[in-house]
Amino acid sequence: MITLSAGLAELGIDLSTGQQDQLLAFRDLLLKWNKTYNLTALRDPEQAISHHLLDSLAILPHVGPGALLDVGSGGGLPGIPLAIARPDLSVSMVDTVQKKATFLQQAAIQLGLKNVSAHHARVEQLPGQYAQISSRAFAELKLFTDLTRQLLAPGGRWLAMKGVRPDDEIAALPADIIVEHVIPLHVPGLDAERHLIILKAGS
C-alpha cells in the first residue's frame, strides 16, 4: 500500500496540503456513497488511493489547456481528481445513470469545486465543444470517438485511459482518427498495465 503523498511524489506531481486533503475527502465521499450507489468495486480506503486517485492523476502531465469533458464518469474518475489538481481547468462530467450524476453533483458541491459541472445525459445529446475529452474504461476506442466526435473542438484531443495496450482497438479506428501517442503509465502502488491513448481527428 502507498500513501497519497508518497504516490504523488513518485508521479512528480506537486499538490498543496489543501489539495491532498480534498483528494482524500473525495475518496471518503466515494466510498461512503458507494455503499448505496455501487460506484466502484473497491471497498478498501488504502486501495482507493492507488487504484482511483493516483490512477486518475497519472494522466495529469498530459492534460493540456482548455475545457475537459470526462465521459462515463461514474464515480468521478478521472474528472474530479483532475479538477482538484488543476483548479484552472474547467471539467464537465457526464453519465447516463442518474444516481451517478447525482453523486458527481453532490461531490462537486461538498468539495467546493467551482470548476466542475456534472450532467445526467447521453453523451451524444450534450451541447458544446471541448478541447479535451477523457474516458476511463468507458468504451472501445472506436465507439468512444464515434459518440463524442461532435463534442471535440477543432484541434482537440481525446485522452483514453486503458489497461493493457489496446492494439486491436487501435487497429479498428477509422482512417481519419490519428493516434498521436500511446503512453505507458506507471501508477504507484498499482501492479497492472496502464496506457494513455491520445487521439486526434484528421481532416
What CATH number does the domain containing 38 carry? Answer: 3.40.50.150
Q: Are 43 and 34 in contact (CB under 8 A)?
A: yes
Average pLDDT over residues 35-40: 84
- Residue 61 confidence (pLDDT) above 90: yes
- Print the domain residue range for 188: 4-201
pLDDT cut 70: percent of the chain above it:
100
The one-character DSSP state at 127 is -
* Number of structural domains found in the chain: 1
CA nearest to 53, candidates 201, 203, 190 = 190
The residue type at 133: I
- Residue 203 confidence (pLDDT) above 80: no
The span from the CA of 58 to the CA of 189, in Å, is 12
pLDDT grade, residue 41 (50/70/90)?
confident
In this predicted structure, what is the pLDDT of residue 35? 87
In this predicted structure, what is the pLDDT of residue 37? 84
Q: Indicate yes or no: pTM above 0.85.
A: yes
